[in-house]
Amino acid sequence: MIPIRDSAPRKRFPLVNIILIILNVLIFFFQQALDPAELQQFFHTYGTVPLELTQGLGRFIRLELPFPGLLGTALPLVTANFLHGGWLHLIGNMVYLWVFGDNVEGRLGHLQYLIIYLLMGAGGQLFHVLFNPHSPVPLVGASAAIAGVLGAYFILFPRSRVLTLVPLGFFITFIHIPAVIFLAFWFILQLFNAAFQGLAIDVQPVAWWAHVGGFALGIIVGIMAKNKAYIK
């Protein structure tokens, strides 16, 4: 299912959401200029490598790594949100961000949306690291942060409807689906894949637990925003 647009009206111009999309696209174009060896190095430098992160945390706990060094080790939790493994990865993420992000930004406000977006991305990645602490595979993509956006939208706009492209064999149809059903189905699919399929290490891995963790954090953000448990 591919979301096309939602019925929730915007409260304000989604400046941050548009900037995030532009940054993701520009960085992906930069990646396209790299040769395969350079791209792998780029991913290992700016993507989140669970093994390196857990080793860095262990060194910090043993007082072998100063706090600034730990921050440097954790920096990919932010930068990885702007890297993508391919065109489909990028386009899929940006479509979801475009459809759902503007309304969440409108509810949270520009600066809070940016900060919370990055925190949900980092938190979702840490959820992945928790289940794969020794993985040497770099984690890249905005999926965890966008999953957080979806979780917040799930709580904040339960009455919204999503115009959805649904392929049925050789045919394509468009259906208006209640947002709660669309997003609940999306989350159940991520949870199922995380619980029963895990990571396909021999192909391009999908960090399902990062999606699950991001969505859960988004739920918390949505509840706090709905109860106005934050300062605007």
CATH architecture of 2-226: Up-down Bundle (1.20)
Q: What is the pLDDT of residues 177-190, one digit of tens each?
A: 999 999 999 999 99
- What residues does 174 pair with on adjacent strands? 165
Q: Percent of the chain scored above 70 by pLDDT?
A: 94
Which residues contact residue 210 at a Cβ distance below 8 angstroms, ignoring those fewer than 6 apart?
124, 125, 127, 128, 139, 143, 144, 147
| In contact, 73 and 45? CB cutoff 8 Å | no
Among residues 52, 23, 207, the alpha carbon closest in space to that of 123 is found at 207
Sign of CA dihedral 115, 68, 129, 20: positive
* pTM of the complete model: 0.90
Domain range annotation of the chain: 2-226
pLDDT of residue 103: 96
Q: What is the pLDDT of residues 87-141, one digit of tens each?
A: 999 999 999 999 999 999 999 999 999 999 999 999 999 999 998 899 899 999 9
Q: Which two tokens stand for residue 4?
A: 């096309």
Q: How far apart are CA 219 and CA 61, in angstroms?
A: 31
> Which H or E run contains 192?
helix 179-196
Q: What is the pLDDT of residues 139-157, one digit of tens each?
A: 999 999 999 999 999 999 9
Q: How far apart are CA 214 and CA 54, in angstroms?
A: 19
pLDDT band with cut points at 50, 70 and 90 for residue 210: very high
- What residues does 124 pair with on adjacent strands? none
| In contact, 230 and 224? CB cutoff 8 Å | yes
Q: How far apart are CA 20 and CA 53, in angstroms?
A: 25
What secondary structure, in 3-state letters, does 79-114 show?
Answer: HHHHCCCCHHHHHHHHHHHHHHHHHHHHHHCHHHHH
Which residues contact residue 89 at a Cβ distance below 8 angstroms, ignoring those fewer than 6 apart?
141
Q: How far apart are CA 28 and CA 87, in angstroms?
A: 9
